[in-house]
Structure 1
């Protein structure tokens, strides 16, 4: 046989397992604050993120424009290197009101909702039955 059709199932599983282990080994850690009350960032005005948070494109976010605060929150949550990044740029009340609509990778959302069950509760209480 030629091509991929001669690959045995155990070979596929071995390759998939190795790829999964490699992703886990090099995965960026998820940073979560110690408490939501520590999130004291702005909710209006223009915010310029440092390069370690927004490394390409415009680093400025006008939080008074619809949608930009959500873009900022998604970027900061995904790229934070320390809890201080979260404390400086996120706001507790704004995060709670935006949580259910912010697109986040599953491992990130899971880490936050595990630490703060009230975020998961708020999200599931608004989902249709």
Structure 2
């Protein structure tokens, strides 16, 4: 019996991953647009395994557009201060980057301001497959480009 070559093993893993995603989409436990993004070879392997969320409606976003934002420590784990002024563009961009990739829909709704998200929206804010899902659901994000 021969040992599978690494490439063959990697392909089997990729095929199994795609099959799990397709089953979840078919069962209705994973939105089809997120399922497609999770199979995108441009998505990091870690993100493809971990998954991501996107709010269902742009109107759900009600994060602060000015003043102070309270950042859940479980979301940023020391990457950001737990409290900062949204006028700090560097910290705000980092928060939005983390929330788009790692935040639950509930955290996205509470932390993302629709106005600030639209203003910050540019390539590199999140991995490209994640950005495509957001842009597909919310075309208003691309109207400024």
Q: 1:62 to 1:118 in 2, by over 3 A?
A: same
Structure 2 CA distance, aligned partners of 1:74 and 1:66?
12
Say how many residue pairs are matched.
Answer: 113
Structure 2 CA distance, aligned partners of 1:106 and 1:19?
22
Matches for 1:1-129 after TM superposition, within 5 Å: 11-20=5-14, 27-57=49-79, 58-81=81-104, 83-119=105-141, 121-122=142-143, 126=145
**DSSP-derived class of the 1:13 partner:** helix
Q: For structure 1, which segment, 94-103 or 15-24, has the greater mean C-alpha deviation from structure 2 after superposition?
A: 15-24
When normalised by structure 1's length, the TM-score is: 0.69
* Larger Rg over CA atoms: 1
Structure 1 CA distance, aligned partners of 2:110 and 2:51?
19
Partner of 1:3: none
Structure 2 CA distance, aligned partners of 1:102 and 1:70?
10
When normalised by structure 2's length, the TM-score is: 0.63
Whether the 8 Å CA contact 1:32–1:112 is kept in 2: the answer is yes
How far the C-alpha of 1:45 sits from its partner, in A, is 2.2
In structure 2, stretches of 5+ residues that fail to align are 21-47
Q: 1:101 to 1:61 in 2, by over 3 A?
A: farther
> Cα deviations across residues 63-96 of structure 1 (Å, max 9, x unaligned)?
1223222111111111112x22111111111111
Whether the 8 Å CA contact 2:65–2:115 is kept in 1: the answer is no
